[in-house]
Amino acid sequence: MKLPARDAIIPPDKLRDYLLSPTHPDGRAKAEYLGRLGYFQDTFLQLEVDFREQVLCRDAQPVRASLYGQKYEILGPLTGPNGSTGWVRTIWIILTGETAPRLVTLIPAEKP
C-alpha cells in the first residue's frame, strides 16, 4: 500500500534537530549517513521534499500496531542533492483515528 505523501506529517525539527544533527545522541550516525548523500541541517527542507517524492511513492509494509496506531516501513533508495544514492528504511505511524502518516525515524539500510 502507498501512504499519502501529500498528507504526510514530516516535522521540520525531526529532520533538522534529529536526523541531520551531528550532535544528537541518537541522530548523529543518521546525520553522517545522510551527509554522504548531501543532506545537512541548513538544507533540511530538501530532505522533506525527497521523502515525499522518492520514499512515499514506494509501497509501505505494515510492521506492527502499537497503543498509538499502526506503524509502517518503507525500504528503498534515496538519491541526495549531491547525486549519491543510499538505501534507507523509514518508519511511519498513522495514529489511531487519523489518516495522515507521521515520520517516526530513518534507518540507514543495505540494498537488498
**Using CA atoms, how far apart are residues 55 and 90, in angstroms rounded to an integer?**
8
Could you report the per-residue pLDDT of 1-16, keeping only the tens digit for each?
A: 999 999 999 999 999 9
Residues making up the chain, counted from first to last: 112
In the chain, the domains with their CATH numbers are: 5-109 (3.10.450)
**How far apart, in whole angstroms, are the C-alpha atoms of residue 68 and residue 77?**
28
Per the listing, cell 514506494 goes with 58
Torsion of CA 25, 85, 101, 40, to 10 degrees: 40
Provide the residue-wise pLDDT of the chain in tens; the chain has 112 residues: 999 999 999 999 999 999 999 999 999 999 999 999 999 999 999 999 999 999 999 999 999 899 999 999 999 999 999 999 999 999 999 999 999 999 999 999 999 8
| Amino acid in position 101 | P
Cα–Cα distance, 88 to 102 (Å, whole number): 16
Predicted TM-score of the model (pTM): 0.94
How far is Cα 52 from Cα 48, in angstroms, rounded to an integer? Answer: 6
